[in-house]
Amino acid sequence: MQDAHEFLKSLTVVLAVAALTTVVFQRLRQPVVLGYLIAGLIVGPHVPIPLVADSGVVQTLSELGVILLMFSLGLEFSLRKLMAVGPTASLTALLQSSVMVWLGFMIGRLFGWTPLESLFAGAVIAISSTTIIAKAFEEQGVTGKLRELVVGILIVEDLIAVLLMAILTGVASGSGLAAGPLAATIGRLAAFLVGLIAIGLLLVPRAIRAVARLNRRETTLVASVGLCFTIALVAQAFGYSVALGAFLAGSLVAESGEERQIERLVEPVRDVFAAVFFVSVGMLIDPALVARHWPAVCVLTAAVVLGKVVGVSLGAFLTGSGLRISLQAGLSLAQIGEFSFIIAGLGLALHATGAFLYPVAVAVSALTTLFTPWMIRASEPIAAWVDRRLPRPIQTFAALYGSWLEELRARRPAATAATELRRLLRLLVLDALLLAGIIVVTSASMARVAAVASGELGMSGALARWLVVAAAAALSAPFCIGVVRVSRKLGLILARLALPAEKHKRVDFAAAPRRMLVVTFQLAGVLLVGMPLLAFTQPFLPGVQGAVLLALLVVVLGAAFWRSATNLQGHVRAGAEVILEALVAQSRARTTVEEGDPLDRLHQLLPGLGTLTTVRLDSGSAAIGRTLAQLNLRGRTGATVLAITRSQGGVIIPNATERLQAGDVLALAGTRDAIEAARAAVHDRASEAC
């Protein structure tokens, strides 16, 4: 009876204090998650406030919160949805997560943490917070392409987090970072996932649909939650976390098509226990421990903000999201949250990390969560500022790159080209796997080879290790070169698909854009293969040799990129001169140049400049009297102004200080979406001015 009283008392204290802090943080327009963390600090044992809840009771309840939170995240994920997010979100999430895992590992080693603690630190800072971003987007009314991109990245990141938790559980359970046991751990994980998903897809969706047909809300709720806890226990029985089982349960239920109804039913229960979970996280914050490790908190916070902004922005841009949207997505995702707590708690429960990592992770999450609303709010002005500060050749490239990818998506490759693309992709993956295998095997056999060499050949251990490293480097070199060469071949095929050369023409007007596209695809290929490979192999490397090699490759390709961008700038200026002459002739033939002239003939003559069209400034437009820099059409929409036709006659190639006049006709280049956005921006401004 005493236990029941203690349970009720602890639950009352937790929920009452959480309710109070939540109201306060809502008034302050801050994420409620921070309120829960403060509530945990208040009722926890580390702050001298006479409102202490029983830690054991709260931890038990928080386990329910973790299960229901992961179940709800699983409901948002399904195989269909993963296919829908497409390569943009998937490749961006992969690049960003790889960058952060590597950064976290290197920071951990810099502070003297063990390899396993450093690996957990990398996983902790790799995943952004779905809960925090969803709340912030809802409060600020963020919609459209930015929301779609960020949600897609979050879906893939959630999947990566689940895989990281499963791998870390196996590694921390005894195999460590040795190559053989790690491979066995990954194999067991794959077998478990395949078996559970295969059986689950046969049984779970049918069972949920049968229950949903009864039209009884309480029956559907009880059946769904019961299934969630059952699969969570199955995962635990196989040695994996209950969080993994709950996530898989949600994913299987989502395949039934009833996920929306179940999500609405589970949401109130989930919110209560999720609040208890976040309070339990706050209870584990020891201010003295955080103060002792404040350098790690500051460095990891800076790594989260800078690493995620750069990783997400670069990945999203390379996959065709446009400069503005990419930067906004990077600024929106620069925080960590619930998955970080779960991963840090997993390390603590498995005794794989010291007690310091959990409060450090919570402190980093709290700091980055505080920054999140401001960063989302400031993302558009920051993106516009970055666009204005970029060198002119990079601005031109950024404006046209999206249109090239648009052309590529619109073209269906011939059977021979498609076969060659698949072959090259297989070679790229094979080269990466062989590189990883050589590094892991070398690391695993280093001590044994050194012992054999010193025992049988009388060679010193240091010399034997150097010889092993030299042999591994010699074996790896062809595959490193293979990654670069195959990436270039892929770039050539894709560039020719996007900007085909016309054989009957004496001059190839698409040569400069095509060269630019080849270098960009090659750079993207090296990054998208190199960063995941580096993140995976860094625990087996004694230093930063892999990072240095990747950095050298990026620098060399970056120099080629800059040369191609400079040539592209000259090509665009020459194209602008041609457009100028065409518009002059057009203005002479007619008294005015009408909006919407497609310039189709010029588009055929000047491939690589994207969609070409003209937009007229009406007399009521608020753009009149403003300079192009102030209007910032490229920063806001991605469209570039190539020329301006004046109403009184004459055509000019504009610069940033050019002031717009009534009746001006802007010749625009860019993607179709960018052109439509630019036209809408001009007309919207006009309607605001009236």
* CATH code, domain carrying 168: 1.20.1530.20
Task: Give residue-wise pLDDT tens across range 545-575.
Answer: 788 888 888 898 889 889 988 888 777 777 6
575 occurs within a structural domain: no
Whether residue 356 sits in one domain with residue 409:
no
583 occurs within a structural domain: no
Q: Could you tell me the two tokens for 26?
A: 């809502």
Whether residue 148 sits in one domain with residue 15:
yes
| Structure confidence at residue 310 (pLDDT) | 92
Kindly state the DSSP code that residue 540 receives in the 8-state scheme: G
Whether residue 595 sits in one domain with residue 480:
no
Whether residue 426 sits in one domain with residue 282:
no
Of 364, 389, 414, which closes a domain? Answer: 389
Whether residue 371 sits in one domain with residue 407:
no
Count, residues in the chain:
690
| Structure confidence at residue 687 (pLDDT) | 37
| Structure confidence at residue 686 (pLDDT) | 40
Among residues 252, 215, 216, the alpha carbon closest in space to that of 231 is found at 252
647 occurs within a structural domain: yes
572 occurs within a structural domain: no
Of 353, 371, 389, which closes a domain? Answer: 389
Strand, helix or coil for residue 160: helix
579 occurs within a structural domain: no
| Structure confidence at residue 304 (pLDDT) | 92
580 occurs within a structural domain: no
| Structure confidence at residue 300 (pLDDT) | 93
Kindly state the DSSP code that residue 411 receives in the 8-state scheme: S
- Give CA–CA dist 308/524, Å, rounded: 17
- Give CA–CA dist 545/295, Å, rounded: 26
578 occurs within a structural domain: no
How many other C-beta atoms lie within 10 A of the C-beta of residue 419? 11
Whether residue 194 sits in one domain with residue 278:
yes
List of the chain residues with pLDDT < 70: 1-4, 77-86, 131, 135, 138-139, 173-186, 447, 450, 452-462, 502-509, 575-612, 635, 647-653, 683-690
Domain total of the chain: 3
Whether residue 525 sits in one domain with residue 383:
no
| Structure confidence at residue 404 (pLDDT) | 80
Whether residue 429 sits in one domain with residue 338:
no
**Buried/exposed 24-56: b ≥16 CB within 10 Å, e otherwise:** ebeeeeebbbbbbbbbbbbbbebbeeeeebbbe
Strand, helix or coil for residue 306: helix
Of 374, 389, 404, which closes a domain? Answer: 389
Whether residue 220 sits in one domain with residue 82:
yes
Is pTM beyond 0.75? Reply is yes
Q: Please report, rounded to a whole number, the percentage of residues in the chain having pLDDT higher than 90.
A: 5
Whether residue 209 sits in one domain with residue 285:
yes
Domain that holds residue 559: 396-567
| Structure confidence at residue 580 (pLDDT) | 64
623 occurs within a structural domain: yes
Whether residue 473 sits in one domain with residue 347:
no
| Structure confidence at residue 185 (pLDDT) | 66
Whether residue 366 sits in one domain with residue 276:
yes
Among residues 98, 162, 125, 118, the alpha carbon closest in space to that of 436 is found at 98
* CATH code, domain carrying 667: 3.30.70.1450
